[in-house]
Amino acid sequence: MAKTYDYLFKLLLIGDSAVGKTCILFRFSEDAFNSTFISTIGIDFKIRTIELDEKKIKLQIWDTAGQERFRTITTAYYRGAMGIMLVYDITNEKSFDNIRTWIRNIEEHASKDVEKMMLGNKCDLQDRRQVSKDRGEQLAIEHGIKFMETSAKASINVEEAFFTLARDIKAKMDRKIDSTGPSKSAGYQLSGKDGSSSKKSFWKSCTLL
Amino acid sequence: MSNEDLPNDFDIIILGTGLTTTISAAAFSRIGLKVLHLDRNDYYGGLFANFNLDAIEAWKQKNIDLSKVDSESHAVGKDKDLCSDGVTCVNLPQETAQAFNLSSSFHVRERTAEEEEAAKKLQTPFKPFFSLPKPSDSDSASKEISEEKEAFQGSDTENDLTPNQPHLQNKSQEDSSQDPTSPEDQGNSRTQVVQKEKSIAEPVKDESEGKESEQPAEEASALVREGDKASNDRDMNHFSSEPKSKNDEEFGEKLSEEKKESSVLEDNIQGSVQEKKKEWTAGDIKDEWRKFCLDLSPRVLFCCGDIIELLIRSDVARYCEFRTVSRVLTLLKNKLEPVPCSRADVFGSKIVSLIEKRLMMKFLQFAADFENHPEEYEGHQNSTFLDFLKFKKLTPNLQHFVQHAIAMVDYSSGTEHGLQRTKKFLQSLGRYGNTAFLFPLYGTGELSQAFARMSAVFGGVYCLMETATHLLADADNKCCGIITSKGQRINCKYLVAESSYLPDTYTKRLSSGKVSRGIYITDSSISRSSDEDLTLLNFICEEDSSRSVTVLEMPPSACVCPRNLFVVYFTRVSNSDDPERDLQEVRERLFASPDGASSAEESRPNILWSMHFTLNDWSMVELTDQAVENVLVLSEGGDAEIDLDKCVPEAKRLFHQVCPDEEFLPTPPNPEDIIHVDDTESPVATGSNSEFESGQENSEEKKGGEIISSEATDQEKNREENQDMQETEGTSAEVMCDAEKPEEGEEKAVKMSKTLGQENES
């Protein structure tokens, strides 16, 4: 079967409960929004394939499965993540304060070179704003990460945010390829060969008794 | 946030997050029951937890402190109280120590002041994008090693009989992205590889972590990483973008390569070239604390065992990655030898003679199907397995292999038990890799977390550092709720708990005995080879051969330690309260002595850090008749088994006690098939915002996302496939089929994973 993408990135959404992580996920993956409650039941992750520099990039975005609620995210959740969206709610001071805690968490459990980005969600609710855009920007600069204000409901910046994160991950990867000398793997990445035949024969030959 | 109260009503409350408990939690959540899962600790896993270096030291200290408290005063207050509303309130026990006789220490010197300075300068902890925290000295040292390693490899491969081995070996060692079809010049490839080592000064964990990214969308079979996969995938660009099908192809390719390797192994061991070892200091190791994943209960998984089947069927496998245990060693005539366990191994082995090969093949063929040939062992049911092997005219060599390395039974084991174990081993051969076992990357502790996530995905509520202080029983003596350590009363219909969460009077321990465990960080492998082997060794002690020691050695590619280090686990059924002494013989045999090595020992690994402790075997418990109804108990482990297959039947049995007619962890719908219904067409009025905010808190509302099984056919197919497979396994386990059966099961597995792959593609 032919490959439908060139890259696959695993992204995580992290942040306090009710900051709109799942809404952002649905806005991005299905361009939908549910103002009541989008159930995360039964949903591990969502997938959307985007195109950057003529490369198809499959984004696999994992939700917390509600385990952030009592701070019980498993360490296993962070394994293999290449990008993390840190989300807070601009109408909720506490969720902004907790970003630091989440960053500490990431530093302890995620890969060291994971690409991070911070989102202040619900920016459509200007009249209830508790966290100014400036403060968001300040915190982002402090941690050397990018920042955007988003609204999953009004569909503001959600696309842009994921594209930015994906672009940064891709750039980092490309840099790595450069720094590790001429990449022999570059040719390999794109070919979508069907491995089933060799696999089959392998199983046969490998089954021994 | 964390101060928030828990919801007040659940169907099932579960206490303790050990593996068996999380499996049952996932099963309950999966069928829609409301599950609250608590653990008194701030980590998942209970006795199956895994820790980084700092955390395991903290765990040690906590258990030392707890065991002191234990002896002083335990019984506080009354056992029962009557609450105002006629509900009886039963006190639940305080936390007690999980492990005993704990000790840990570094066996290397501290850094000098200058080294400390240098290390500090180079360290930029937690600064993204600039992560090259390795001290310069270790850098140059690792370079040296890598170069020497290459040289070692080169000389080694020249002796090799298989023509394409050198090229493959180089490839797998460093970079699988090299084009395997172009036969490359040896010298050239070697220098390239060294270059690579230099430029990738990054921590191994980071590199291999990224690799996981492709896993969830991948086929189930591909999540099993062949032997040195993790080390192959050093290039981030490579693993993340590597097309899956190619990956599979490579997977197969490398596996077949691995087969050959076993025969090469001997040469490696004999011709073990002296590598210059880096001198580690305690500071060097402490700096890498994050990169260790040390298991309290390290286990391997039989490739055809219950847990593997469950992981695949339930899709929990998407949360983990595995690699094969790449070699099984045994100590024969004072030397570590690879065990010929497969047909190819037996034929390729140099340590068994031609006649022995025939005998061995014949015996293994019989053992794989022994139930259908009762005449072969008739009259031997009451004799020991060893006597039976002698009767079968196996030579002492072969007796050793079969008894100690394949069946892994002691001298007192009966014939049938030995045959069953042999058969289980043989059945698991050839499914993934060249031995019968898999190991989860990052450690066994990942598995309980994976099942916990599955439970959470289906609505299970998780809360760590919280437990029940009281159990509530109604007038009919049925459990109806708990009071949490924060004083909240929560109602439930059933309470499932690990034995340590229940009063002593409720539980009866059926298993007995203790287990001594040693965890070691070492600087090289117990038996060097050209690859990063994950090794299993069943070590027979001279001092007491009835209690063997299970040795598991993890290379960095198992993602449990930083580069150039190894983690070794010893497990032995204990008869003393001195685990360090209990494991002394094997330690002295496999590792260099701490007080300056003699020449013969120089090639042995040095212990850099060690920890010893004793666990009580709580692997079999049952409730007494004093227990309140609707309380169920699960074991928490602590036994000396090498695998996890006890957990699955126990969790399943418990699940069916509560839900007799429900399916146990069926395959969930593909996340990509769950379609969210946009509500823009039926906009909610002005109150929507607050509803939106509070909505997420309310676990009652589960309607927003609808599960539309538009791809039902695919899933149906998938499910059928799974069932098919189960049946295959079932029959082969019970009835025992012809010798080809495992292969059939194998193809099923591949087929099934293909279906999964297609779904993910679409």
Do residues B631 and B495 touch, judged by C-beta distance below 8 A? yes
Write the DSSP assignment of B388-399 as a string of letters. Answer: HHHHTT--HHHH
Contact B457 A42 (CB under 8 A): yes
Query: What is residue B82's predicted lDDT score, i.e. its pLDDT?
Result: 58
Query: How far is B227 from B322, CA to CA, in rounded Å?
Result: 9
**Residue B633 to residue B636: CA distance in whole angstroms:** 9
Q: Which of B518, B505, B445 lies closest to B99, judged by CA?
A: B518
List, for residues B639-682, the tens digit of each pLDDT value.
Answer: 999 999 899 999 999 999 999 999 999 988 876 666 555 444 43
Determine, for residues A116 and B128 on separate chains, whether the beta-carbon distance falls below 8 Å: yes
pLDDT in tens, B62-94: 999 998 875 554 444 455 665 667 788 999 998
**B160, pLDDT greater than 70:** no
Give the C-alpha separation, B458 to B34, whole Å.
Answer: 9
Which pLDDT value is given to residue B93? 92
> Could you report the per-residue pLDDT of B378-420, keeping only the tens digit for each?
889 889 999 999 999 999 999 999 999 999 998 889 999 999 9
- Phi first, then psi, for residue B521 (nearest 5°) are -105, 125
The three-point CA angle B78-B84-B625 to 5° equals: 50
Contact between A76 and B177 using a beta-carbon 8 Å cutoff: no
The encoded tokens of residue B727 equal: 């049946």
Pick the residue with more confidence: B351 or B48?
B48
Residue B632: what pLDDT?
A: 96
The answer to whether B534 and B439 are in contact (CB under 8 A) is yes
If DSSP codes are grouped into helix, strand and coil, which group holds residue B727? helix
What's the mean pLDDT in B587-609?
A: 79
A57 contacts A51 by C-beta, under 8 angstroms:
yes
Q: Which string of DSSP letters, residue by residue, matches B291-357?
A: G--EESS---EETTSHHHHHHHHHSGGGG--EEE--EEEEEETTEEEE---SHHHHHH-SSS-HHHH
Hey, are the CB atoms on A203 and B746 less than 8 Å from each other?
yes
Q: Say what angle helices A133-142 and A93-109 make with each other, to 10 degrees.
A: 20
| Whole-number pLDDT of residue B334 | 86
Selected residues 66-105 of chain A with any CB under 8 Å from a CB in chain B: 66-67, 69-72, 74-77, 79-82, 89, 91, 94, 98
The minimum CA-CA distance between B193 and chain A, rounded to whole Å, is 11
Cβ–Cβ gap A180/B747 under 8 Å: no
Low-confidence ranges of chain A (pLDDT < 50): 181-209
Distance CA B364, CA B14 (A): 44
Contacts of A31 in chain B (CB under 8 A): 678
Q: Per-residue DSSP letters for B510-540?
A: ----EEEEEEEEESS-SS--SS---EEEEEP
Q: Which residue of B has its CA nearest to A78?
A: B209
C-alpha span between B83 and B161 (Å, rounded): 79
Beta-carbon separation of A192 and B246 below 8 A? yes
Asked if the Cβ–Cβ distance from A66 to B461 is below 8 Å, we say yes
Residue B730's contacts (CB-CB under 8 Å, 6 or more residues apart) are: none
C-alpha distance from B33 to closest chain A C-alpha (Å)? 12
Residue in this structure with the two tokens 């009451």, named with its chain if needed: B382
pLDDT given at position A38:
52
**Percent of chain B whose predicted confidence (pLDDT) is above 90:** 48
Q: Quick check: A60 and B216 CB within 8 A? A: yes
Instruction: Tell me the mean pLDDT in the region B716-743.
Output: 36
**In this predicted complex, what is the ipTM?**
0.85
pLDDT(B634) > 90: yes
Nearest CB to B701; choose among A36, A94, A199? A36
Within a domain: residue A2?
Answer: no
- Average pLDDT (B546-575) is 94
Alpha helices in B91-203 (DSSP H): 113-122, 136-158, 165-174, 186-199
On the question of pLDDT at B624 being above 70, the answer is yes
pLDDT band of B191, cuts 50, 70, 90:
very low
pLDDT at residue number B69:
78
Which of B19, B347, B447, B692 to mutate: most A Cβ within 10 Å?
B692
Residue A190 lies in a domain: no
Residue A144 has, within 13 A of its CA and on its CB side, a CA count of 8
- Highest mean pLDDT among A58-62, B1-5, B287-291 belongs to A58-62
DSSP state of B280: -
Residues B508-549: pLDDT tens digits? Answer: 999 889 999 999 999 999 998 878 899 999 999 988 888 999
> Could you tell me which of B504, B512, B477 has the C-alpha nearest to residue B623?
B504
In a domain, A199, yes or no: no
Residue B703 near residue B459, CB atoms below 8 Å? no
Cβ–Cβ gap A32/B247 under 8 Å: no
Nearest residue of B to residue A63, measured between CA atoms: B457
- Which residue blocks in chain A are alpha helix, DSSP H? 21-30, 93-109, 133-142, 158-179, 185-190, 196-206
- The whole-angstrom distance between A42's CA and the closest CA on chain B is 5
CA distance B625 to B507: 9
Chain B contact present for A127, CB below 8 A:
no
- Taken in order B621, B622, B626, B628, the sign of the CA dihedral is positive
Residue B747 has pLDDT above 70, yes or no: no
Domain that holds residue A14: 7-178
Q: Residues, chain B, total?
A: 762
pLDDT, position B712: 37
Name the residue among B715, B725, B732 with its Cα closest to residue B750.
B725
Mutate to test the interface with A, among B209, B455, B484, B751 (most CBs of A within 10 A): B209
Is there a contact between B212 and A80 if contact means CB atoms under 8 Å apart?
yes
Burial class for B629, CB neighbours closer than 10 Å (0-12, 13-18, 19+) = middle
Instruction: Find where tokens 């009652």 sit.
Output: B700
Contact A203 B446 (CB under 8 A): no
Contacts of A110 in chain B (CB under 8 A): 209
**Do the strands B461-464 and B35-39 form a parallel or antiparallel pair, or are they unpaired?**
parallel
| Virtual torsion, Cα B306, B308, B314, B318, nearest 10 deg | 170
> Rg for chain B (alpha carbons), in Å?
27
In sequence order, the 6+-apart residues with CB closer than 8 A to the CB of A141 are none
Instruction: State the nearest Cα–Cα gap between A170 and chain B, in angstroms.
Output: 9
Question: What distance in Å separates residue A163's CA from the closest CA in chain B?
Answer: 17
Closest CA of chain B from A93, distance in Å: 12
Q: Most confidently modeled of B112-121, B195-204, B642-651?
A: B642-651
Identify which of A3, A79, A180 has the shortest CB distance to residue B209: A79
Q: Check B246 against A144: CB less than 8 A apart.
A: no
The beta-carbon neighbor of A34 closest among B212, B671, B704 is: B704
Q: How confident is the model at residue B341 (pLDDT cuts 50, 70, 90)?
A: confident
DSSP string, B592-657: --SS---GGGTTSPPEEEEEEEEEE-BS-EEE-TTSPBTEEEE--B----SS-TTHHHHHHHHHHH
**DSSP, residue by residue, B589-601:** HHS--SS---GGG
Question: What pLDDT shows up at residue B748?
Answer: 35
CATH code, A27: 3.40.50.300
Q: Which residues of B touch A181 (CB under 8 A)?
A: 192, 195-196, 199
Predicted confidence at residue B721, as pLDDT, reads: 43
Q: Are B157 and B169 within 8 A, CB to CB?
A: yes
What mean pLDDT is predicted for residues B418-439?
89
Give percent above pLDDT 70 in chain B: 64
Under the banding of pLDDT at 50, 70 and 90, the label for residue B430 is: confident
Q: Which of B121-135, B248-262, B563-577 has the lowest mean pLDDT?
A: B248-262
Q: Number of structural domains, chain A? A: 1
B506-520, B585-599, B740-754: segment of lowest average pLDDT: B740-754
End-to-end CA distance of chain B: 38
User: Quick check: is A185 in a domain?
Assistant: no
C-alpha closest to that of B34 among B489, B493, B447: B493
B571 forms beta bridges with B517, B550
Q: What is the pLDDT of residue B86?
A: 78
Give the mutation candidate from A35, A129, A179 for the B interface (greatest B CB count, under 10 A).
A35
User: Which residues, including other chains, have CB under 8 Å from residue B17's CB and lie 6 or more apart?
Assistant: B25, B37, B39, B41, B44, B45, B46, B448, B452, B464
Q: What are phi and psi of A186, to 5 degrees?
A: -55, -45
Work out the pLDDT band at B714, boundaries 50, 70, 90.
Answer: very low
| B751 Cβ contact partners less than 8 Å away, ≥ 6 residues apart | B721
pLDDT of residue B136: 40
Task: Give the Cβ contact number of residue B104 at 10 Å.
Answer: 15
Rank A167-181, B212-226, B732-746 by mean pLDDT and report only the highest. A167-181
Is A185 in contact with B175 (Cβ distance < 8 A)? yes
> At B596, which amino acid appears?
G
Q: Is A207 on the interface with B (CB under 8 A)?
A: yes
Q: Does residue B600 register a pLDDT over 70?
A: no
d(CA B369, CA B423): 7
- Please list every residue in chain A whose beta carbon sits closer than 8 Å to the beta carbon of residue B251: 195, 199
- Residue B15 to residue B585: CA distance in whole angstroms: 39
| Segment (H or E) for B88 | strand B88-91
Question: Taking all residues of chain B, what is their mean pLDDT, rounded to a whole number?
Answer: 73
**A133, part of any domain:** yes
Question: Is A171 an 8 Å CB contact of chain B?
Answer: no
**B693, B707, B736: best to mutate for the A interface, most A CBs within 10 A:** B693
HSE at residue A91, side-chain half, CA atoms within 13 A, is: 17
| CB spacing of A76 vs B319 below 8 angstroms | yes
